[in-house]
Amino acid sequence: MKKNIFLVLVIAIGVSANAQTPKTDNTKSINEVVTTTDIEWGWLNPLRGDKSPAAGKLWGDRTGADASGFLVKFKKGFSSPQHIHNVTYRGVVIKGLLHNDDEEAEEMWLPSGSFWQQPAGEAHITAAAGKENMAYIEIQEGPYLVKPTTEAFDNGERPVNVDPTNLVWLNASDITWVSDDSTIQTAFLWGSHKEGELNGSLIKLPKGFKGEIKNMSRNFRAVIIQGSIKHRVSEKGEESTLEAGTYFGAAENSMHTITSAASESIIYIRANGRFEVVSAQE
């Protein structure tokens, strides 16, 4: 028996509704996989060398003009000088504890599964307290630059920090366009969720999940936030093990087989259209 969740993104919902989210993305996703061994690591801010967090490429080029997504690793005890960025970025914590706020703000440590948004031009610091600290970061346009607070400006957006305990998880009975009792859950993070417009969501797959993701979006990118999955493109593709901090992209109208047998898994999905999560149960 197959059970379908149709994630038809047609309503405006999300914690970052005040953000001026671009509605389009000139890039086009393809069927691709980036495993742990594929990640190319360098320094997030090359001018600071090993005083900077490490950065690992997942998709796109953060030094170019287009959208991109990458990993950032922070050493325990890291705390940046107060600074700004020239572009707005969004982040999801994968490992450890991260704090991102004004220099005078009380520390609020965000654990794995947290989401935050840092507006362009706003002065802030970033700190890390876990033994291992890693986050997924994405930008809508590049290049991603670090600049002094003397160049601060207000772009009209406001920062967002969301602990996992404040996420609203919806299942099939909560979503009006799904008539199914599947245990797959969704938490909407940002974007208008109108057909053709960019948005970001977390998808939670239960332990023992076996099924497929069918992508009908021109742009679909997925990052494993928690757990580990087995992934292959269609039934004939090569199977890969994707752990937390790895990535797969999906071409339009492609089918991806997913297995999350050992533990619950959480996947961050960035898309600009419709996709389906289909769980197969015997």
Against a cut of 0.95, is the pTM above it?
no
pLDDT for 51 equals 84
Residue whose C-alpha is closest to residue 114's, from 66, 62, 159, 164: 164
* Distance from C-alpha of 205 to C-alpha of 189, rounded to nearest angstrom: 17
Complete domains list, the chain, with CATH? 2-18+166-280 (2.60.120.10), 40-163 (2.60.120.10)
Do residues 96 and 72 make contact, with C-beta atoms less than 8 angstroms apart?
no
pLDDT in tens, 120-155: 999 999 999 999 999 999 999 999 999 999 999 999
Distance of alpha carbon 134 from the chain centroid: 12
Residue labelled with tokens 């997924």: 136
Residue 259's region, left for phi above 0, alpha for psi from -120 to 50, else beta, is beta
254: DSSP letter: E
Bond into 143 cis (ω within 30): yes
Residue 79, CA distances (Å) to 49, 82, 129, 158 in order:
15, 9, 9, 22
Share of the chain above pLDDT 90, in %: 72
Give the mean pLDDT of 179-200. 80
Q: What is the mean pLDDT of the chain?
A: 87
